[in-house]
Amino acid sequence: MGILSLISGWPGPSGFGSASTAEQVTNSIDASHLTVIITGGASGIGLETTRVLTMRGAHVIIAARNIKAANEAKQLILQNNDNAKIDVLELDLSSLKSVNAFVHSFKALNLPLNILINNAGVMFCPYQLSQDGIEMQFATNHLGHFHLTNLLLNKMKETTATTGIEGRIVNLSSIAHRYTYEQGIIFDQINDKDSYSEKKAYGQSKLANILHANELSRRLKEEGANITVNSVHPGLIMTDLMRHSLLRMRIFKVFTYLLWKTVPQGAATSCYLALHPGLKGVSGKYFLDCNEYPASNFATDPELAKKLWDYSHNLVNSLQRS
């Protein structure tokens, strides 16, 4: 899989490629027995992922910061699919308090949990701190998802134990994980305004998504849990995620238009990882265009993954005590 495959859409070993859509990669798959949580499932590739998963019969819980937009997305899907099973719950990933409240609300629904898709994110935003006082891209893209995943793990383990169905966790990362700070993760300067780069901070957060997936996969394998964890680069897609750099991205797209995907193509790899039976037991991998793809040296460093896990765990605990 390389630039030629990306441009041509030529399928890889999985039988799918950059031109494959979310509907195509889930064709004939029955997901009516599955419950899915997707963060940011009300817009962009998150909305398309929600639409296709409900089309395949899954019960999807949209976790969204903007409840009004999420309910509008729900109604949009229901207009074309009367049988779609969708719930909407509020979640602001930049706030650990909001993450706690979301998990409480989800558990109150008394539903199983088969699949968690950590899809939401912010991109290239100007320097700002979250409600908890953490740099916004790291807080939203990584720390919020880290805490959310940990709080939902027992529910997913209970579901796999009672149903025998493999649980799956999908972290949306980006090829931008290669374009981070020189040290990979600047643990001692996460909130440092002077050294802040909106692009490198985004790359750092996307690197963290892969490292999180890899370390969680390792821990679950060691535990013998029937849950897989993988990460994905969805591709270049023009969505609201790029609102902080829209003009620059439009100019960039003019010169790189052959590399860009449609939203249905951008949602394909997430849907593939969530539902395809051919991925049973596959865990701790990075995917692009529905095929395994080599990540950066930082992203495949097990010691860095462990260090990030410990750092994130300690940071969450300290923030919740304060």
Which residues are annotated as catalytic? 196
Ordered DSSP codes for 127-152:
S-B-TTSSBHHIIIIIIHHHHHHHHH
Helix (H) or strand (E) holding 63: strand 59-64
* C-alpha 88: how far from chain center: 17
* Residue 72 CB contacts under 8 Å (≥ 6 apart), including other chains: 42
Torsions phi, psi for 232 (to 5 deg): -145, 145
Give, as one character, the DSSP assignment of residue 181.
Answer: B
From the list 189, 208, 201, the residue with the least C-alpha distance to 149 is 208
From the list 229, 186, 230, the residue with the least C-alpha distance to 204 is 186
